[in-house]
Chains A and B, each alone.
Chain A
Amino acid sequence: MSVGLEHYLALSAVLFSIGLYGVLAKRNAVVILMCIEIMLNAVNISLVTFSRYVVPLLLTGQIFAIFVIVVAAAEAAVGIAIIIAIYRSRQSVDVDKFDLMKW
């Protein structure tokens, strides 16, 4: 059995779900940020896969993936900066404790 389109897509779907689970279940803001990166990388896998199997002559998917990587880096930088700012005032990165504002 050779590895084909559906295997890569399954890998991507599983990774995406693991990331989403982590975002919903984890309490540490840094870990949540890592889980978001997992979700974005899952997207990259499926982008490259689709590009390879659906439009093998074009590089659209690969270029899209590069854009995603760049934007993810920017997002992570801002994320870490905000987490540091909040850690300085609260001495904690536990999202359960960030409940100053509630309905």
Chain B
Amino acid sequence: MEIGDFRLLAPEISLLGCVLLVILLDLFIKQKRILATVSIAGLIVSAGFTLVMWGTPPVVILSRTLAVDAFALFFKFLFLVVAALIILASQDYVNKFERFQGEYYALVLISAVGMMLLAAATDLIAIYVALELSGISLYVLVGFLKDQKSSEAGLKFLLLGAVASAVLLYGMTLVFGFTGRTCLMCIADFLQGMPATGILDNLALLLGLILLVAGFGFKIACFPFQMWVPDVYEGAPTPITAYLSVASKVAGFAVILRVFFVALGAPDWMSLNWGMLFAILSAITMTVGNIVAIVQSNIKRMLGYSSIAQAGYLLVGLATVGMATGSDTSGQSGLIFFLMSYAVTNLGAFIAVIAISNKIDSDAIDDYAGMGRQASLLAVALTFCLISLIGLPPTAGLIAKIYIFSGAVRHGLLWLVIVAVVNSCISAFYYLRVVKVMWLGVPPSKEKVPSSWALRTALAVCCLLVLLLGVVPGSFVSIAETATRFFGS
């Protein structure tokens, strides 16, 4: 360990400093809006450090526990952008809890630090600690409103999350016991040297692998660990729902990609097995998510199920990574591009929902009737994001789906792509129902729905990115391809 290592941790350390500053200022400052400004300034500084490091050769620091490579830096930047947009989008919402605004911002930032470390972690211990750092702060945030629904959501999330992390730990223990190592590169070295027997001959490793998938599966909400999603999404404060569905899920995919590709990706007999496992999970996840979403009447629950379905499409990318033998990285870059597009699209949809719900004080889809006339810009933005979630032109969703599915077809997953395309058609039904209610429904009143400039800015940024990713995807694709450069691959 060297002092120079800490220089490479500048994004995380500066953000932690900002968290402390926010908590400290909260004690003295009456005008709580300043705290939001400080938080966003901290995020911008941290993002600046991340950008400066982009393009430097990949290294591992602190006794091989954290990697500073293009992959980690890309995800750090993504989490910082998402956290900044969430804080902007919370500006109207925070008035609901007069007293604890400082804590709210601090917790959002701390969980962002946890996710940044999660994307960089290359050691099982570091992965566990980073996962819990982001997880525990999210448990608190979900129960933040302290009303009945919010506390119930917080309790459900905490209990299920704690069980999932215990299961994950047991899996990590078995992998550690089998290989005697906790650092991912060392595990990979150990597995390389093993004779090429089937995975069924190594029961401890097989069980460890399944438990790892179960533990991480909770984080990304894939079948059969998706049960918590609708309840937690409905009960949590809406900005936190957005944060959960975007940042937390992206962090889950980042860590799965690193663990499975770096540590367990090397011998072909191993990666083919987990690739197929992810392919099967993917087919079930997207089908369950889409079918149950059809009958939902609450927009937060509907977006919850839709995010389960999106996790299904994302798992197609993971399955491709597993099935691809050799040096083809189209699975990874497809997954990263889809994550980028999913993050901005879903965030945009949720910010529009925050703005509308804030005014009409309801999450029922029927109450969105006539929103096209009451708040035209918000309705246009929401429609645009929903179209992107379906995957229609000219949006990010279409390009992302083509990219990820074409990779899957090339690696023999044609059946999975057919399931996914059928699912996309099913999903159009419930997304377009919201659009129909908004534009064709009769508004209960002529009153306009106002929104603050902060929300509008955040929404505009999201919609602009959705459009850019859909119209000029070239430069974003090359970013995604650069971001597939792991340390040790």
Contact = CB atoms under 8 A, between A and B. Distances in A.
Interface of A: 16, 19-20, 23, 29, 32-33, 36, 39-40, 42-43, 46-47, 49-50, 54-55, 60-61, 63-64, 67-68, 71, 74-75, 78-79, 81-83, 85-86, 89-90, 95, 98, 100-103
A100 B152 contact: yes
A68 B152 CA distance: 26
A16 B156 CA distance: 21
B152 A43 contact: no
Contacts of B388: none
Contacts of A46: 170, 173-174, 177
16 contacts: A23-B159, A39-B163, A39-B167, A43-B173, A50-B180, A54-B177, A55-B180, A60-B125, A60-B182, A63-B125, A74-B136, A83-B155, A86-B151, A100-B148, A101-B149, A102-B231
A86 B139 contact: no
B422 interface: no
Given A55-B180, A103-B292, A71 B155 contact: no
Most buried by A among B139, B169, B231: B169
Given A36-B162, A74-B136, A82-B158, A100 B149 contact: yes
Given A40-B169, A71-B128, A103-B230, A50 B155 contact: no
A50 B162 contact: no
Nearest to B234: A101
Given A79-B139, A100-B149, 12 more contacts: A33-B159, A36-B159, A36-B162, A36-B166, A46-B173, A47-B176, A55-B181, A63-B125, A68-B169, A75-B162, A75-B165, A98-B155
Nearest to B150: A85
A50 B176 contact: yes
B361 interface: no
A18 to B, nearest CB: 12
A36 B156 CA distance: 13
Contact of A50 (B158, B169, B173, B231): B173
Most buried by B among A42, A82, A98: A82
Contacts of A81: 140
A78 to B, nearest CB: 5
Most buried by B among A39, A54, A61, A64: A64
Interface residues of B, number: 42
A41 B295 CA distance: 42
A8 to B, nearest CB: 11
Nearest to B124: A64
B258 interface: no
Contacts of B176: 47, 50, 60-61, 64
A75 B132 contact: yes
A68 B172 CA distance: 12
A27 B298 CA distance: 28
A101 B125 contact: no
Given A39-B163, A42-B170, A85-B154, A101 B136 contact: no
Most buried by A among B155, B156, B296: B155
Nearest to B232: A101
Contacts of B234: 101
Nearest to A74: B136
B201 interface: no
B147 interface: yes
A16 B143 CA distance: 28
Contacts of B173: 43, 46-47, 50
Contact of B155 (A20, A67, A86): A86
Contacts of A79: 139, 158-159, 162
